[in-house]
Amino acid sequence: MKRINFHMLTAFAALVSLVTFNWQYGNETFVFFGFAENKEMEIRLENPVTIEQVYVTAGNRVHKGDVLLEVTRSGLELTQSGLNHEVAKLQSQYNIWKADIEGTIRRLEAQKMAKRGEIQTQIDQLESEMSINRSLIKDLESIRPAKDKSGRSPNEVKIEGLKKELRMAVRPLDSEIRKLKKELRAHNNPLKIQIEKLSEELGFVHQEADKLTITAPNDGIVGSIFCKVGEQFSAFNTLLTFYEQNPTQVKGYVLENLILKVKMGDEIIVHSGVQASTKCTGRVVGMGSRIVEIPERLRKNPAFKTYGREIQIQIPADNSFLQKEKVVLKLPAGKDDLDNKVLRAFTPPKTSSSASLEQKTEDE
Same domain, 36 and 47: no
Domain count, the chain: 3
Share of the chain above pLDDT 90, in %: 40
pTM above 0.85, yes or no: no
Please give the Cα distance from 22 to 29 (Å, whole number): 10
Same domain, 239 and 271: no
Same domain, 270 and 319: yes
- The boundaries of the domain holding residue 196 are 77-207
pLDDT at 23 over 50: no
pLDDT tens for 271-288 read 998 887 889 999 999 998
Same domain, 223 and 312: no
pLDDT at 243 over 90: no
pLDDT at 43 over 50: yes
pLDDT class of 356 with cuts at 50, 70, 90: very low
Please give the Cα distance from 52 to 73 (Å, whole number): 10
Among 321, 310, 258, which Cα is nearest to 25's? 258
Residue 364 lies in a domain: no
Same domain, 269 and 318: yes
Last residue of a domain, one of 181, 207, 233: 207
Which range is least confidently modeled, 6-15, 18-27, 183-192?
A: 18-27
Same domain, 303 and 224: no
Mention every residue, 6+ apart, whose C-beta is less than 8 A from residue 344: none
Residue 8 lies in a domain: no
- Dihedral sign from CA coordinates of 30, 33, 38, 41: negative
Tell me what pLDDT residue 215 has. Answer: 94
Residue 24 lies in a domain: no
| Residues paired with 54 in a beta bridge | 69
Selected residue with higher pLDDT from 325 and 142? 325
Same domain, 110 and 200: yes
Tell me what pLDDT residue 90 has. Answer: 94
pLDDT at 231 over 90: yes
pLDDT class of 139 with cuts at 50, 70, 90: low
Same domain, 83 and 113: yes
Residue 56 lies in a domain: yes
Residue 359 lies in a domain: no
Share in percent of the chain as helix, strand, coil (round to 5): 45, 25, 30
Residue 55 lies in a domain: yes
pLDDT at 136 over 90: no
Which range is least confidently modeled, 100-109, 174-183, 250-259, 276-285?
A: 250-259
Last residue of a domain, one of 153, 185, 207: 207
CATH number (domain holding residue 223): 2.40.50.100
Tell me what pLDDT residue 364 has. Answer: 45
Last residue of a domain, one of 182, 207, 232: 207
Same domain, 203 and 164: yes
Residue 12 lies in a domain: no
Average pLDDT over residues 294-300: 88
Same domain, 281 and 203: no
Mention every residue, 6+ apart, whose C-beta is less than 8 A from residue 356: none
Same domain, 200 and 134: yes
Q: What is the average pLDDT value for the chain, to the nearest integer?
A: 81
Say if CB 331 and CB 268 are below 8 A apart.
yes
Same domain, 298 and 345: yes
pLDDT tens for 167-219 read 888 899 999 999 999 998 888 889 989 999 999 999 999 989 998 999 998 88
Residue 2 lies in a domain: no
Mention every residue, 6+ apart, whose C-beta is less than 8 A from residue 282: 249, 250, 267, 268, 269, 270, 313, 314, 315, 316
pLDDT class of 345 with cuts at 50, 70, 90: very low
